């Protein structure tokens, strides 16, 4: 009898061990697959941006977009990942960036797991006992690259390549990372002190990137020919609207990967619970909730934008805006909430973009509005609908602050500042170094003929605005 019990115990342990292996491998594969899905976002941004560019500049726009992706990924490895783990409590709950309640933050913790040198290097490369660090890093690196791509489109046809790359590094490997540390981490002070909630990163990715772009645009100035002497704006059409609209649809495809990467799977040492997935805050979340709400938001945004514009560019931008408008609360909204909010987001999109343009800002793709304004709209709207919802999961410290309108407004202000201020400062410095704006003669002639050793299209499609051959 005793032998049988021992045998059964051993068998049970083996079964549990096998189940854990399956769970671990599933979790690793889950996050790994979000990475190529998010690369689709970049394929989309590439098409979107190149389509919105005139023929004479199309390859230059593509080069800029590709370099933003590449430099952001590498610098996020070198130092961006460290900022995320180091800064959650700084400077509000700890001036010395000490560890927070969950003990997964602070200078010492970040230096132990997120630097590509010293002892922490064991978690920044191959390690058979670590199936999480690389895939989490990869997902975050793609979030980082997304911020750079968001800003990229607004600046086309007159920003220098290297100057833009420097701005993209600051955005992708610093500005948004600080926002994520503060508002997208269980120890983040915006979460613990203000109950800030932003499940799908409407504020900390989209708003930060959108307003970072605005900060650059202020220093960069408009494209040659965008504004008349009386201040009125001219429409500068891109060379391929179907490419742009298809790109936008690919961004939406990638968003499903982006958002599934925002879920914390169960059953691992880093999970909140053994049996259920959660948000990054440890609050309830399922892929099913995403399926309902993302599909509805995309549809609501398209319809909302169609009401006033009838323009496929703005309809697909509305699709993006619909998702961004509900991203903060995708985990708590009911489907009909989502329809209402995303319809409104789609409807206000074009008037908001027109208002930005009336200020003399030449945002070539509407990124400031789609990502910046609508991102903040989404953050604040969650405060309206979601006040009182617990801010953290079941293992949070007592007295955890709940979601509130006040907390969401504080978060929105912080996200605006984390975008605009670094964007303005770094672009001002780059401008002073003579590396920001392309000379007007080159803009008029066309960027591709000046600096790209390739042609986008056969001779029959060369722009009549350029002497490019």
Partner 1 sequence: MGYFAESFSELYNAEGWIDMGMYIGAGSSMPGWYTVIASVMLVAILVKGNNDEQDHYK
Residues at the site binding partner 1, with contacts judged by CB under 8 A: 71, 74-75, 78, 116-118, 121-130, 160-163, 165-166, 434-435, 438-439, 442, 450-451
For partner 1, the closer CB: 116 or 390: 116
- Shortest Cβ distance from residue 457 to partner 1 (Å)? 21
In whole angstroms, what is the distance from residue 340 CA to residue 396 CA?
A: 32
- Shortest Cβ distance from residue 223 to partner 1 (Å)? 16
135 is written with which tokens? 């895939």
For partner 1, the closer CB: 65 or 299: 65
- Nearest Cα residue to 407 out of 222, 189, 219: 189
In whole angstroms, what is the distance from residue 39 CA to residue 70 CA?
A: 12
Asked if the bond preceding 162 is cis, omega within 30° of 0, the reply is no
Who contacts 459 (Cβ-Cβ below 8 Å, separation ≥6)?
469
- Nearest Cα residue to 108 out of 100, 92, 116: 100
For partner 1, the closer CB: 124 or 204: 124
DSSP helix/strand/coil, 197: coil
- Shortest Cβ distance from residue 128 to partner 1 (Å)? 4
- Shortest Cβ distance from residue 405 to partner 1 (Å)? 44
- Shortest Cβ distance from residue 262 to partner 1 (Å)? 28
For partner 1, the closer CB: 168 or 365: 168
> Cα 96 vs. chain centroid, distance in angstroms?
28
Is residue 372 within 8 Å of residue 206, measured between CB atoms?
yes
- Shortest Cβ distance from residue 270 to partner 1 (Å)? 14
- Shortest Cβ distance from residue 433 to partner 1 (Å)? 9
Who contacts 382 (Cβ-Cβ below 8 Å, separation ≥6)?
197, 198, 328, 329, 332, 403, 408
In whole angstroms, what is the distance from residue 77 CA to residue 295 CA?
A: 33
- Shortest Cβ distance from residue 173 to partner 1 (Å)? 12
For partner 1, the closer CB: 78 or 402: 78
For partner 1, the closer CB: 166 or 403: 166
- Shortest Cβ distance from residue 446 to partner 1 (Å)? 12
Q: How far is CA 324 from CA 63, 169, 199, 385, in A?
A: 27, 23, 11, 16
For partner 1, the closer CB: 78 or 241: 78
459 DSSP 8-state letter: G
Is residue 258 within 8 Å of residue 41, measured between CB atoms?
yes
Q: Taking the CB of residue 194, how many other CB atoms lie within 10 A of it? A: 24
In whole angstroms, what is the distance from residue 85 CA to residue 98 CA?
A: 11
Under the phi-then-psi rule, with left for phi > 0, alpha for psi from -120 to 50, and beta for the rest, what region is 266?
beta
For partner 1, the closer CB: 48 or 174: 174
Is residue 14 within 8 Å of residue 258, measured between CB atoms?
no
280 is written with which tokens? 């990054």
57 DSSP 8-state letter: G
369 DSSP 8-state letter: I
- Shortest Cβ distance from residue 118 to partner 1 (Å)? 6
Who contacts 338 (Cβ-Cβ below 8 Å, separation ≥6)?
292, 293, 296, 297, 300, 326, 330
For partner 1, the closer CB: 62 or 301: 62
- Shortest Cβ distance from residue 136 to partner 1 (Å)? 17
For partner 1, the closer CB: 34 or 75: 75
- Shortest Cβ distance from residue 64 to partner 1 (Å)? 11
Cα atoms in the Cβ-side hemisphere of radius 13 Å centred on 286: 6
* Percentage helix, strand, coil for the chain under 3-state DSSP, each rounded to 5: 65, 0, 30
Return the bridge partners of 284, or none: 278
For partner 1, the closer CB: 34 or 443: 443
For partner 1, the closer CB: 11 or 440: 440
In whole angstroms, what is the distance from residue 87 CA to residue 99 CA?
A: 9
């Amino acid at each position: 009898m005793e032998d049988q019990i021992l045998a059964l115990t051993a068998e049970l342990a083996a079964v549990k061990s096998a189940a854990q292996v399956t769970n671990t491998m599933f979790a690793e594969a889950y996050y790994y697959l979000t990475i190529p899905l998010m690369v689709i976002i970049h394929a989309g941004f590439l098409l979107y941006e190149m389509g919105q560019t005139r023929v004479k500049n199309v390859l230059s726009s593509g080069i800029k977009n590709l370099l933003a992706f590449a430099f952001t990924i590498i610098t996020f490895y070198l130092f961006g990942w460290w900022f995320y783990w180091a800064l959650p409590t700084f400077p509000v709950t700890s001036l010395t960036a000490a560890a927070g309640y969950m003990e997964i933050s602070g200078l010492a913790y970040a230096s132990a797991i997120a630097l590509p040198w010293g002892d922490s290097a064991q978690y920044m490369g191959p390690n058979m006992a670590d199936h999480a660090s690389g895939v989490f890093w990869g997902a975050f690196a793609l979030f980082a690259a997304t911020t750079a791509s968001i800003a990229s489109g607004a600046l086309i046809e007159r920003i220098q390549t290297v100057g833009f790359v420097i701005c993209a590094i600051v955005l992708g490997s610093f500005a948004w990372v600080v926002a994520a540390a503060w508002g997208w981490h269980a120890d983040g002070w915006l979460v613990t002190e203000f109950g800030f909630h932003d499940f799908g990163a409407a504020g900390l990715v989209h708003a930060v990137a959108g307003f970072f772009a605005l900060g650059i645009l202020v220093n960069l100035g408009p494209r040659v020919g965008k504004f008349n002497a009386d201040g009125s704006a001219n429409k500068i059409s891109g060379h391929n609207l179907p490419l742009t609209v298809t790109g936008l649809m690919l961004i939406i495809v990638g968003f499903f990967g982006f958002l599934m990467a925002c879920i914390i799977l169960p059953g691992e040492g880093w999970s909140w619970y053994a049996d259920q997935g959660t948000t990054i805050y440890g609050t309830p979340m399922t892929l099913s909730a995403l399926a309902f709400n993302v599909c509805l938001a995309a549809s609501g945004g398209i319809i909302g934008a169609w009401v006033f514009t009838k323009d496929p560019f703005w309809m697909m931008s509305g699709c993006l805006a619909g998702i961004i408008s509900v991203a903060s609360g995708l985990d708590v909204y009911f489907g009909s909430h989502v329809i209402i909010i995303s319809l409104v987001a789609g409807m206000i999109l074009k008037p908001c973009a027109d208002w930005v343009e009336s200020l003399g800002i030449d945002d070539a793709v509407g990124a400031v509005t789609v990502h910046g304004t609508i991102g903040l709209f989404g953050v604040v709207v969650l405060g309206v609908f979601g006040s009182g919802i617990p801010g953290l999961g079941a293992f949070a410290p007592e007295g955890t602050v709940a979601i509130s309108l006040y907390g969401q407004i504080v978060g929105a202000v912080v996200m605006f500042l984390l975008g605009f201020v670094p964007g303005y400062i770094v672009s001002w410095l780059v401008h002073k170094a003579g590396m920001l704006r392309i000379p007007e003669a080159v803009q008029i002639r066309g960027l591709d003929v000046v600096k790209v050793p390739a042609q986008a299209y056969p001779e029959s499609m060369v722009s009549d605005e350029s002497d490019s051959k």
